[in-house]
Structure 1
Amino acid sequence: MSDVAIVGGGVIGLACAFELARRGSSVTVLEREEPGFGASTVAAGMLTPSFEVELTPQSLVELQLDSLRRYPQFIREIEAAGGRSCGYRDEGSLWVSRHRDDELQLDHILRIQQQRGLPARRLTGREVRALEPYVSPRAVGGLLVESDHQVDSRKLVPALRAACEAIGVDVRTGTGVATVERAAGAMELTCQHGGVTSPFHADQVLLAAGVWLEEGLVTPLPKIGMRPIKGQIVHLQGQRLVRHVIRNSDVYLVPRDGGRLLIGATEEEQGFDMNPTAGGTLDLLRFGFEVLPGIYDLDIAEIDVGLRPTFHDHMPVLGATTTDGIYMASGHYRGGVLLAAATAHWMAEIMLTGQAPSEIEPFNFRRFVADQTQQEAAS
Structure 2
Amino acid sequence: MKVVVVGGGVIGLSVAWRLATEHDVTLVDPAPGRGASWVAGGMLAPVTESWPGEEDLLDLGSASLDSWPAFAAGLGISLHTAGTIVAAVDAADAAQLDVLADFLAARGRDVDRLTGRELRRVEPTISFRVRSGLMVPGDLAVDNRELLRALHSSAEAAGVGFVREPVRAVRREAVDLGGTTLRCDVAVIAAGAWSSGLHPALASAVYPVKGEILRLRARPNALPPPAHTVRALVESRPVYLVPREGDELVVGATQYEAGFDDEVTAGGVRDLLMYAETVLPGITEYGLAECAAGLRAGSRDNLPLIGWLEPGVLVAAGHHRNGLLLAPITADAVAAFVSGAAPPPVVRVADPARLKQRTS
CA–CA separation in structure 1 for the residues paired with 2:336 and 2:103: 30
Unpaired runs of 5+ residues, structure 2, are none
Structure 1 residue 247 corresponds to structure 2 residue 231 = yes
Question: Match of 1:27?
Answer: 25
Structure 1 residue 200 corresponds to structure 2 residue 176 = no
Structure 1 residue 178 corresponds to structure 2 residue 168 = yes
Question: Match of 1:191?
Answer: 177
> Does the residue aligned with 1:258 lie in a helix, a strand or coil?
coil
Gap change, CA 1:116 and 1:299, over 3 Å in 2:
same
Conservation of the 8 A alpha-carbon contact between 2:196 and 2:202: no
Specify the code of the residue in structure 2 equivalent to 1:47. L
CA–CA separation in structure 1 for the residues paired with 2:306 and 2:200: 17
Shift of 1:220: 6.2
Shift of 1:256: 0.8
Identical amino acids, percent of aligned pairs: 37
Q: 2:40 aligns with which of 31, 43, 49?
A: 43
Gap change, CA 1:124 and 1:311, over 3 Å in 2:
closer
RMSD in angstroms over aligned alpha carbons?
Answer: 2.0
CA–CA separation in structure 2 for the residues paired with 1:313 and 1:111: 22
Question: Match of 2:273?
Answer: 285
CA–CA separation in structure 2 for the residues paired with 1:262 and 1:329: 27
CA–CA separation in structure 1 for the residues paired with 2:269 and 2:175: 40
Q: 1:228 aligns with which of 183, 187, 208?
A: 208
Shift of 1:203: 1.0
Per-residue CA deviation, residues 186-208 of structure 1 (Å, 9 max, x unaligned), is x122236xxxx322221111000
Structure 1 residue 77 corresponds to structure 2 residue 67 = no
CA–CA separation in structure 1 for the residues paired with 2:156 and 2:13: 10
CA–CA separation in structure 2 for the residues paired with 1:163 and 1:116: 37
Shift of 1:95: 1.5
TM-score, normalized by length of structure 2? 0.91
Gap change, CA 1:286 and 1:55, over 3 Å in 2:
farther
Conservation of the 8 A alpha-carbon contact between 1:119 and 1:147: no
Aligned residues: 351
Question: Match of 1:333?
Answer: 320
Structure 1 residue 210 corresponds to structure 2 residue 192 = yes
Specify the code of the residue in structure 1 equivalent to 2:124. P
Specify the code of the residue in structure 1 equivalent to 2:353. R
Shift of 1:117: 4.4
Per-residue CA deviation, residues 327-355 of structure 1 (Å, 9 max, x unaligned), is 00001111111111111111211221254
CA–CA separation in structure 2 for the residues paired with 1:283 and 1:55: 28
Gap change, CA 1:261 and 1:222, over 3 Å in 2:
closer
Question: Match of 1:15?
Answer: 14
TM-score, normalized by length of structure 1? 0.87
Unpaired runs of 5+ residues, structure 1, are 80-84, 375-379
Shift of 1:264: 0.9
CA–CA separation in structure 2 for the residues paired with 1:17 and 1:252: 30
Specify the code of the residue in structure 2 equivalent to 1:203. D
